[in-house]
Each structure stands twice: as C-alpha cells, then as structure tokens.
Structure 1
Amino acid sequence: MSPLSIALLSLAMSTDAFAAAVGKGMALEHPHWREALRTGAIFGAIEGTTPLIGWALGLAAADYVKAWDHWIAFVLLLGLGGHMVLNGLRPSESQAADKPARHGFWVLALTGLATSMDAMVVGAGLAILDVPILPVAFAIGCTTLVAVTLGVMAGRVFGRAAGGRAEIVGGLVLAGIGTAILFEHLSAG
C-alpha cells in the first residue's frame, strides 16, 4: 500500500471522528487545548486499535462485522446524542454553568468506538489483501488524533455561536452522524 493510499485512507477513517469531536467541543464549557488533545488521544488510540482488531479477525469475521458495524455505530451515537440533547433541554438558570469542563473517559471512549467501526471493517479487508497493518493503523490513529483535537477546538468556536443550546446542537450532530452511517450502509446494500 502506497504512502498516498495510507494517507487518504487515514483521512477517510477520521472524518466521522472529526464531526463527533466538533459536537463534543460544543458541549464543553470553553475547552482548552489540553482537553482537545486528551480527547484526540482517546479517539486516536481507539481508531488506531480497531483496524488491528479487524485485521486479527480477518476473513472469517469480516462479513459478520460488516453486517453489524453500522447498527452498532447508529445505536451508540444515537444514544450518546440523545443523552446530550436531553441534558441541553433541561431547564437551568444558567445554561453555561451546566456545561462540563471535560467529558468523562467512558463517554469519549464510546463515541470513539462508535465512529471507528468502519476502521475495523477496513482492517479485516486489509487482512484479505495481505497488507501490513501496523503502518496503516498507526497512520489512522495519528490522523484521528489531529482531526479530533482540531474538531474539539472548532466546536469551541461553534459552541460560542450556538450559545446556551450548544449541547443540543452537539447531540444532534452525533445522532446525525449515526443516522448517516446507518443510511449509507443500508442504501449501499
């Protein structure tokens, strides 16, 4: 696999994570670079690990993973997005005061896992093609780290523009990503 192919694949695998990170950044109270890097590292580690898992499963499980990846991503992202929307709809005296300074590890890990299911399928496909997986997985993880870090910081800007209802917008973004993943896979089949 050429370096250009690896770079393009890495960019493609990180787009869902970038969009989810924008939503996560919008839901935070003025996120800083440290939180953006933390979020990027969690997403990057997961996004870089899932192709390894897919590759290890190989041909035998590729059809099973491919058959369910879109449903898993849909349920996780819809659930997380719905939770964010409900939190945003709760009445409060000061909506900004209710925004967390950071997201919990497990919330980020579940979101990262939901946006990386396609990378698992790619890993299984690369096993079939006998492509060395380590450089590809490393590139996907690093690209996702950068994309998510930038996404959280972009969410910071969009969050200010959205005002007190940024968590609702962020939740809708996550639910929309999950729905788009499901629609894309169902319409392709």
Structure 2
Amino acid sequence: MPDWSVAAGQILTIIIMAIALGMDAFSLGIGIGLKGVRLRDVLKLSLVIALFHILMPLGGMIMGQYVSSLLGGIATSVAGALLLLLGGHMVYSALRGESEGSIDHRSVGGLLIFSLSVSIDSFSVGITLGMFSAHRLITIMMFGLFGGLMSMLGLMLGRRASQSLGGYGEALGGVILFTFGLLFLI
C-alpha cells in the first residue's frame, strides 16, 4: 500500500505542475482570443502547443538526468533553485504585464514562436524532473494534455473575457512553481 500512495503523490505533483505550466499558455491564449480567433485556429494553436509541451519537457528531462549524474547529491537543491527562479520569473513577468501581442498566430512562424514561448518553461521544469528521475511518459503526456487544454480554454475564454484575466493565470502558475521550489529546498 505505501508504494501506491507514493505513486499517487508523484502523479498528483506532476498534474499540478502541468496545470501550473499550462497557465502560461492559458494567459497568452486569452490575449490572442481577445483579438479574435477562428475556431480552426484555436484547434491548430492548441495542438501545436500540446506538442511543444511534450517535446520541451522531454528534452529537459533527458538533459536533467545527465546533469543529475554530474551533480550527484546536490541535484535536489539545484532543481529546487531552478523552480524558484522559474516561478519567480513567471510572477515578475505577469506583474510587469509582458505579453506576446505582436505575434501573428496565423503564420507558421508566429505559430511556432507562440508555441515555443509558452512551452519554454516546460523545458526548465523538465530538467528539474529529470534530476529527480520522474516517470518520463506520464510527465510528458500530462504536460502535453494540460498545455493543450489550457491553451484551448484560454483562447476560447479570450473570445469572451476581459483582458485583465490573462496576467492572473501566469502569476498563479508562477506561484505554484515557486512553492514547489521551496518544498524541494526544505
């Protein structure tokens, strides 16, 4: 029974992190949705973002396992510090009001830049999870699922919501990652 509770705790942690990382896609999706977006573009953007939320943490996890083998016992502290920095940066960006408003999401280049910009945090978290040897398949599938769903929700909500909601989503995601960073350091 103890093995089941540990596995359930790890899966719950991965889901919470996936939701936190999806908040960036959610908040930027609201901004794009406010400008007006067709349903076909919502689907296309969400699928590409989901793909990036799979590939970026996968690359990060592979790199994280390598870094973990180099760092040995201090890997947990380094991973916690990375999450602190990443979460702090997300909160800072949300408070400053930075956005990707100039990207044309309908062009191939704009689609790729937008998807990369909302998925780059997943790479950093993937490095951290690679240091902990997290279950790779579950992690990338959850990150992809929630990245795609959160972006779709943001795009759809952006069609109907006010602009002030966007920053709160990114800030909440940053607070969650910052909290996990603190927990890893304690």
Q: TM-score interval w.r.t. the shorter chain?
A: 0.5 to 0.7
1:129 aligns to 2:132 (yes or no): yes
Output aligned runs, 1:26-37, within 5 Å.
Answer: 26-27=34-35, 29=36, 31-37=37-43
Q: CA deviation at 1:103?
A: 2.0
Runs of 4+ in 1 over 6 A off after TM superposition: 67-70
Tell me if 1:107 matches 2:110: yes
Aligned residues: 151
Q: Is the 8 A contact 2:56 2:122 kept in 1?
A: yes
User: 1:16 corresponds to which residue?
Assistant: 24
Deviation at 1:105, TM superposition (A): 2.8
C-alpha deviation, 1:40, in angstroms: 0.6
Q: 1:113 to 1:124 in 2, by over 3 A?
A: same
- Displacement of 1:120: 1.1
| Candidates 49, 70, 74, aligned match of 1:43 | 49
Alignment partners' CA distance in 2, 1:139 and 1:128: 18
2:20 and 2:109 map into 1 onto residues whose CA distance is: 24
Offset at residue 137 of structure 1 (A): 0.6
RMSD over aligned CA atoms reads: 3.7
- Structure 1 residue identity aligned to 2:100: L
Distance 1:153 1:79 in 2: 18
Alignment TM-score, normalising by the size of structure 1: 0.62
Counterpart in 1 of 2:13?
A: 5
Whether the aligned pair in 2 keeps the contact of 1:23 and 1:155 (CA below 8 Å) is yes
Mark the CA change 1:80 to 1:13 in structure 2 (over 3 Å): closer, same or farther.
closer
Given the alignment of the two structures, is residue 153 of structure 1 paired with residue 156 of structure 2, yes or no? yes
TM-superposed CA distance for 1:104, in Å, is: 1.8
1:21–1:138 Cα change, 3 Å = same
Provide structure 2 residue ranges, at least 5 long, that are not aligned to the other structure. Answer: 1-6, 69-74
Q: CA deviation at 1:69?
A: 7.0
Q: Runs of 5+ in structure 1 lacking a partner?
A: 85-99, 163-168
Aligned-pair identity in percent equals 21
What's the secondary structure of 1:37's corresponding residue?
helix
